[in-house]
Protein backbone atom coordinates (compact mmCIF):
# COMPACT_ATOMS: atom_id res chain seq x y z
CA UNK A 1 0.00 0.00 0.00
CA UNK A 2 1.26 3.45 -0.88
CA UNK A 3 0.61 6.32 1.53
CA UNK A 4 -0.56 8.97 -0.95
CA UNK A 5 -4.08 10.25 -0.30
CA UNK A 6 -6.06 12.29 -2.81
CA UNK A 7 -8.89 14.54 -1.67
CA UNK A 8 -11.37 15.33 -4.40
CA UNK A 9 -12.62 18.92 -4.25
CA UNK A 10 -14.83 18.88 -7.37
CA UNK A 11 -18.03 19.47 -5.39
CA UNK A 12 -16.54 22.44 -3.56
CA UNK A 13 -13.71 24.27 -5.38
CA UNK A 14 -14.92 22.97 -8.75
CA UNK A 15 -18.65 23.60 -8.64
CA UNK A 16 -18.43 26.90 -6.70
CA UNK A 17 -16.83 28.57 -9.73
CA UNK A 18 -19.63 27.54 -12.12
CA UNK A 19 -22.03 30.37 -12.95
CA UNK A 20 -24.73 28.18 -14.50
CA UNK A 21 -26.74 26.21 -11.93
CA UNK A 22 -25.75 22.55 -11.75
CA UNK A 23 -28.72 20.43 -10.72
CA UNK A 24 -28.46 18.70 -7.35
CA UNK A 25 -29.00 15.32 -9.04
CA UNK A 26 -26.05 15.99 -11.35
CA UNK A 27 -23.85 17.04 -8.44
CA UNK A 28 -24.67 13.88 -6.54
CA UNK A 29 -24.14 11.72 -9.63
CA UNK A 30 -20.66 13.16 -10.24
CA UNK A 31 -19.60 12.96 -6.60
CA UNK A 32 -20.87 9.38 -6.35
CA UNK A 33 -18.87 8.44 -9.46
CA UNK A 34 -15.73 9.85 -7.84
CA UNK A 35 -16.44 7.96 -4.62
CA UNK A 36 -17.04 4.83 -6.68
CA UNK A 37 -13.57 5.19 -8.26
CA UNK A 38 -11.99 4.71 -4.84
CA UNK A 39 -10.98 8.29 -3.98
CA UNK A 40 -11.00 8.14 -0.15
CA UNK A 41 -11.68 11.77 0.80
CA UNK A 42 -14.29 14.01 -0.75
CA UNK A 43 -14.71 17.72 -0.07
CA UNK A 44 -18.25 17.61 -1.35
CA UNK A 45 -19.53 21.13 -0.80
CA UNK A 46 -19.22 24.28 1.25
CA UNK A 47 -21.48 25.66 3.98
CA UNK A 48 -21.24 29.29 2.99
CA UNK A 49 -23.92 31.94 2.62
CA UNK A 50 -26.31 30.91 -0.20
CA UNK A 51 -26.33 34.58 -1.20
CA UNK A 52 -22.54 34.63 -1.60
CA UNK A 53 -22.37 31.29 -3.43
CA UNK A 54 -25.83 30.33 -4.75
CA UNK A 55 -24.31 27.34 -6.56
CA UNK A 56 -23.77 25.58 -3.22
CA UNK A 57 -27.11 26.38 -1.58
CA UNK A 58 -27.96 22.66 -1.79
CA UNK A 59 -25.02 21.74 0.48
CA UNK A 60 -27.14 19.96 3.08
CA UNK A 61 -29.06 17.93 0.51
CA UNK A 62 -25.85 16.92 -1.30
CA UNK A 63 -24.26 15.71 1.94
CA UNK A 64 -27.37 13.78 2.95
CA UNK A 65 -27.76 11.99 -0.37
CA UNK A 66 -24.23 11.05 -1.52
CA UNK A 67 -22.87 7.57 -0.97
CA UNK A 68 -21.18 7.61 2.44
CA UNK A 69 -19.55 4.15 2.45
CA UNK A 70 -15.78 3.86 3.01
CA UNK A 71 -15.11 7.51 2.37
CA UNK A 72 -14.44 10.62 4.46
CA UNK A 73 -16.90 13.38 3.58
CA UNK A 74 -15.63 16.89 4.18
CA UNK A 75 -17.26 20.30 3.83
CA UNK A 76 -15.50 23.63 3.60
CA UNK A 77 -16.68 26.26 6.07
CA UNK A 78 -15.73 29.92 6.44
CA UNK A 79 -16.93 30.58 10.01
CA UNK A 80 -18.73 29.32 13.16
CA UNK A 81 -22.14 29.31 11.51
CA UNK A 82 -20.85 27.26 8.58
CA UNK A 83 -19.19 24.80 10.94
CA UNK A 84 -22.43 24.34 12.90
CA UNK A 85 -24.42 23.71 9.72
CA UNK A 86 -21.80 21.27 8.40
CA UNK A 87 -21.75 19.27 11.65
CA UNK A 88 -25.57 19.21 11.74
CA UNK A 89 -25.44 17.77 8.24
CA UNK A 90 -23.17 15.05 9.68
CA UNK A 91 -20.05 15.55 7.63
CA UNK A 92 -17.05 13.50 8.79
CA UNK A 93 -14.81 16.54 9.05
CA UNK A 94 -14.66 20.23 8.26
CA UNK A 95 -12.13 22.26 6.33
CA UNK A 96 -12.02 25.81 7.68
CA UNK A 97 -10.70 28.31 5.19
CA UNK A 98 -8.50 31.26 6.07
CA UNK A 99 -6.33 33.21 3.65
CA UNK A 100 -2.78 34.17 4.55
CA UNK A 101 -3.35 37.44 2.66
CA UNK A 102 -5.47 40.01 4.53
CA UNK A 103 -6.81 41.39 1.27
CA UNK A 104 -7.81 37.95 -0.03
CA UNK A 105 -9.35 36.91 3.30
CA UNK A 106 -11.46 40.06 3.36
CA UNK A 107 -12.63 39.58 -0.24
CA UNK A 108 -13.23 35.86 0.20
CA UNK A 109 -14.95 35.65 3.58
CA UNK A 110 -15.28 39.28 4.68
CA UNK A 111 -13.10 38.95 7.77
CA UNK A 112 -9.66 40.06 8.84
CA UNK A 113 -7.16 37.29 9.49
CA UNK A 114 -7.47 37.97 13.24
CA UNK A 115 -11.26 37.64 13.06
CA UNK A 116 -10.87 34.36 11.18
CA UNK A 117 -8.52 33.00 13.82
CA UNK A 118 -11.08 33.97 16.48
CA UNK A 119 -13.79 32.08 14.56
CA UNK A 120 -11.51 29.04 14.29
CA UNK A 121 -10.85 29.24 18.03
CA UNK A 122 -14.63 29.20 18.63
CA UNK A 123 -15.09 26.27 16.25
CA UNK A 124 -12.37 24.31 18.02
CA UNK A 125 -14.35 24.58 21.27
CA UNK A 126 -17.26 22.50 19.96
CA UNK A 127 -15.44 20.29 17.42
CA UNK A 128 -12.85 17.58 18.03
CA UNK A 129 -9.51 18.81 16.71
CA UNK A 130 -9.02 15.70 14.55
CA UNK A 131 -12.18 16.68 12.69
CA UNK A 132 -10.75 20.09 11.77
CA UNK A 133 -8.50 20.82 8.83
CA UNK A 134 -7.37 24.38 8.16
CA UNK A 135 -7.06 25.45 4.55
CA UNK A 136 -4.48 28.22 4.30
CA UNK A 137 -5.59 30.09 1.19
CA UNK A 138 -3.04 32.09 -0.83
CA UNK A 139 -0.16 30.32 0.96
CA UNK A 140 2.11 30.78 -2.05
CA UNK A 141 1.08 34.31 -2.92
CA UNK A 142 -1.98 36.47 -3.43
CA UNK A 143 -3.29 37.97 -6.68
CA UNK A 144 -3.66 41.31 -4.82
CA UNK A 145 -0.64 41.33 -2.52
CA UNK A 146 1.82 39.36 -4.66
CA UNK A 147 4.38 36.85 -3.42
CA UNK A 148 5.48 36.88 0.24
CA UNK A 149 7.82 35.19 2.61
CA UNK A 150 7.13 31.80 4.18
CA UNK A 151 7.44 33.54 7.57
CA UNK A 152 4.01 35.10 7.00
CA UNK A 153 2.54 31.60 6.60
CA UNK A 154 4.55 30.19 9.47
CA UNK A 155 3.25 32.81 11.88
CA UNK A 156 -0.38 31.85 11.17
CA UNK A 157 0.42 28.15 11.51
CA UNK A 158 2.03 28.99 14.86
CA UNK A 159 -1.11 30.74 16.12
CA UNK A 160 -3.35 27.87 15.01
CA UNK A 161 -1.03 25.24 16.47
CA UNK A 162 -1.26 27.11 19.77
CA UNK A 163 -5.00 26.33 19.93
CA UNK A 164 -4.36 22.63 19.32
CA UNK A 165 -4.88 22.35 15.57
CA UNK A 166 -2.41 20.36 13.51
CA UNK A 167 -3.94 19.57 10.10
CA UNK A 168 -3.21 22.17 7.43
CA UNK A 169 -3.65 22.44 3.70
CA UNK A 170 -1.23 24.78 1.96
CA UNK A 171 -3.39 26.23 -0.81
CA UNK A 172 -2.02 27.78 -3.97
CA UNK A 173 -5.41 29.40 -4.52
CA UNK A 174 -4.64 31.05 -7.86
CA UNK A 175 -1.82 28.84 -9.18
CA UNK A 176 1.17 31.10 -8.52
CA UNK A 177 3.66 28.66 -7.00
CA UNK A 178 6.72 27.23 -8.72
CA UNK A 179 8.32 23.89 -7.78
CA UNK A 180 11.22 25.62 -5.99
CA UNK A 181 8.79 27.67 -3.91
CA UNK A 182 6.74 24.59 -2.99
CA UNK A 183 9.96 22.80 -2.02
CA UNK A 184 11.18 25.70 0.09
CA UNK A 185 7.86 26.45 1.84
CA UNK A 186 7.14 22.79 2.62
CA UNK A 187 10.66 22.19 3.90
CA UNK A 188 10.49 25.21 6.18
CA UNK A 189 6.98 24.55 7.51
CA UNK A 190 7.55 20.82 8.10
CA UNK A 191 10.74 21.59 9.92
CA UNK A 192 9.13 24.31 12.06
CA UNK A 193 6.04 22.20 12.88
CA UNK A 194 7.14 18.55 12.90
CA UNK A 195 3.90 17.38 14.57
CA UNK A 196 1.64 19.04 12.02
CA UNK A 197 0.23 17.29 8.96
CA UNK A 198 0.48 19.29 5.75
CA UNK A 199 -1.39 18.70 2.51
CA UNK A 200 -1.25 20.62 -0.77
CA UNK A 201 -4.09 22.25 -2.66
CA UNK A 202 -2.67 23.23 -6.06
CA UNK A 203 -4.02 24.93 -9.14
CA UNK A 204 -2.78 24.58 -12.71
CA UNK A 205 -3.45 28.23 -13.61
CA UNK A 206 0.01 28.73 -15.10
CA UNK A 207 0.69 25.12 -16.13
CA UNK A 208 2.75 24.22 -13.04
CA UNK A 209 0.13 22.10 -11.25
CA UNK A 210 1.65 18.64 -11.64
CA UNK A 211 5.21 20.02 -11.34
CA UNK A 212 4.18 21.31 -7.92
CA UNK A 213 2.53 18.00 -6.98
CA UNK A 214 5.82 16.33 -7.81
CA UNK A 215 7.86 18.91 -5.85
CA UNK A 216 5.58 18.49 -2.85
CA UNK A 217 5.77 14.70 -3.03
CA UNK A 218 9.55 14.89 -3.00
CA UNK A 219 9.37 16.90 0.22
CA UNK A 220 7.23 14.26 1.87
CA UNK A 221 3.73 15.61 1.22
CA UNK A 222 1.27 12.73 0.88
CA UNK A 223 -2.06 14.57 0.72
CA UNK A 224 -3.13 16.34 -2.44
CA UNK A 225 -6.37 18.02 -3.44
CA UNK A 226 -7.60 17.80 -7.04
CA UNK A 227 -10.79 18.37 -9.04
CA UNK A 228 -12.31 16.28 -11.82
CA UNK A 229 -11.44 17.58 -15.30
CA UNK A 230 -9.34 20.37 -13.77
CA UNK A 231 -12.40 22.58 -13.21
CA UNK A 232 -12.47 25.54 -10.84
CA UNK A 233 -10.73 28.40 -12.60
CA UNK A 234 -9.95 31.79 -11.18
CA UNK A 235 -11.96 34.93 -12.02
CA UNK A 236 -8.76 36.72 -13.04
CA UNK A 237 -7.81 34.10 -15.60
CA UNK A 238 -10.69 33.43 -17.99
CA UNK A 239 -9.90 30.33 -20.04
CA UNK A 240 -7.01 29.25 -17.80
CA UNK A 241 -6.95 25.91 -15.97
CA UNK A 242 -8.39 25.54 -12.50
CA UNK A 243 -7.53 23.02 -9.80
CA UNK A 244 -4.98 20.36 -10.66
CA UNK A 245 -6.95 17.80 -12.61
CA UNK A 246 -7.98 14.77 -10.56
CA UNK A 247 -7.56 12.17 -13.28
CA UNK A 248 -4.31 13.72 -14.59
CA UNK A 249 -2.91 13.64 -11.04
CA UNK A 250 -3.97 10.02 -10.53
CA UNK A 251 -2.50 9.11 -13.94
CA UNK A 252 0.89 10.64 -13.04
CA UNK A 253 0.96 9.04 -9.58
CA UNK A 254 0.00 5.68 -11.11
CA UNK A 255 2.89 5.91 -13.61
CA UNK A 256 5.21 6.56 -10.68
CA UNK A 257 3.71 3.67 -8.64
CA UNK A 258 2.92 5.91 -5.69
CA UNK A 259 -0.85 5.66 -5.58
CA UNK A 260 -3.17 2.73 -5.40
CA UNK A 261 -6.82 1.98 -4.76
CA UNK A 262 -8.14 4.34 -7.44
CA UNK A 263 -9.82 3.26 -10.69
CA UNK A 264 -8.56 5.76 -13.27
CA UNK A 265 -10.92 4.59 -16.02
CA UNK A 266 -13.90 5.35 -13.79
CA UNK A 267 -12.55 8.85 -13.19
CA UNK A 268 -12.08 9.47 -16.91
CA UNK A 269 -15.66 8.36 -17.54
CA UNK A 270 -16.85 10.66 -14.73
CA UNK A 271 -14.89 13.55 -16.21
CA UNK A 272 -16.50 13.01 -19.63
CA UNK A 273 -19.90 12.96 -17.93
CA UNK A 274 -19.03 16.20 -16.14
CA UNK A 275 -18.03 17.74 -19.47
CA UNK A 276 -21.46 16.83 -20.86
CA UNK A 277 -23.17 18.34 -17.81
CA UNK A 278 -21.17 21.59 -17.88
CA UNK A 279 -21.34 21.91 -21.67
CA UNK A 280 -17.81 23.10 -22.34
CA UNK A 281 -14.41 21.49 -22.87
CA UNK A 282 -12.65 20.78 -19.58
CA UNK A 283 -8.90 21.42 -19.17
CA UNK A 284 -8.06 17.81 -18.21
CA UNK A 285 -5.53 16.21 -20.58
CA UNK A 286 -5.74 12.46 -19.91
CA UNK A 287 -9.47 12.49 -20.77
CA UNK A 288 -8.41 13.67 -24.26
CA UNK A 289 -5.10 11.85 -24.73
CA UNK A 290 -5.73 8.55 -22.98
CA UNK A 291 -3.19 6.87 -20.72
CA UNK A 292 0.56 6.72 -21.37
CA UNK A 293 0.18 2.95 -21.26
CA UNK A 294 -2.52 2.86 -23.98
CA UNK A 295 -1.09 1.61 -27.27
CA UNK A 296 -2.41 2.10 -30.79
CA UNK A 297 -2.36 -0.23 -33.78
CA UNK A 298 0.40 0.88 -36.16
Write out the DSSP string of 36-63: HTT--EEEEEE---TTT-GGGTTHHHHH
Task: Rank residues 138 and 223 by Cβ distance to a copy of itself and give the closer one.
Answer: 138
| Separation of alpha carbons 96 and 93, rounded Å | 10
- Member of 52, 178, 188, 263 binding a copy of itself (CB under 8 A): 178
Size of the site for a copy of itself (CB under 8 A): 57
Q: Should residue 210 be labelled a site residue for a copy of itself when binding is judged by CB under 8 A?
A: yes
Q: Should residue 141 be labelled a site residue for a copy of itself when binding is judged by CB under 8 A?
A: yes
Q: Should residue 205 be labelled a site residue for a copy of itself when binding is judged by CB under 8 A?
A: yes
Q: Should residue 113 be labelled a site residue for a copy of itself when binding is judged by CB under 8 A?
A: no
Examine the residue annotation and report whether 142 is marked as an active-site residue of this protein. Answer: no
SS3 track for 94-121: EEEEEECCHHHHHHHHCCCHHHHHHHHH
Q: Should residue 148 be labelled a site residue for a copy of itself when binding is judged by CB under 8 A?
A: no
Q: Which residues, 223 to 262, sit near a copy of itself by CB under 8 A?
A: 234, 236-241, 245, 248, 251-252, 255-257
Q: Should residue 17 be labelled a site residue for a copy of itself when binding is judged by CB under 8 A?
A: no
Dmax over CA atoms of the chain, in Å, equals: 64
CB 96, CB 132: distance < 8 Å: yes
174 beta partners: none
- Of 232, 214, 116, residue with least CA distance to 173: 232
Task: Rank residues 125 and 295 by Cβ distance to a copy of itself and give the closer one.
Answer: 295
Q: Which residues of 160-178 are buried (b: 16+ CB within 10 A; e: fewer)?
A: bbeeebbbbbbbbbbbbbb
Which parts of this chain interact with a copy of itself (CB under 8 A)?
103, 106-107, 141-147, 175-181, 204-211, 213-215, 234, 236-241, 245, 248, 251-252, 255-257, 281, 284-286, 288-298
The catalytic residue positions are: 234
Amino acid sequence: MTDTVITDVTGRDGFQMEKEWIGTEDKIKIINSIIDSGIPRIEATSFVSPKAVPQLKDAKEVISRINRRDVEIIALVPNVKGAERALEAEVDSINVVLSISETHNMKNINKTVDQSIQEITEISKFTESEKINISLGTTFGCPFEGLYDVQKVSEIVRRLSAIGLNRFTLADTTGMASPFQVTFFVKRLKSAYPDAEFGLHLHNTRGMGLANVYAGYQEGIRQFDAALGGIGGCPFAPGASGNVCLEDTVHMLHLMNILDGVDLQKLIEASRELERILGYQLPGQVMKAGLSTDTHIA
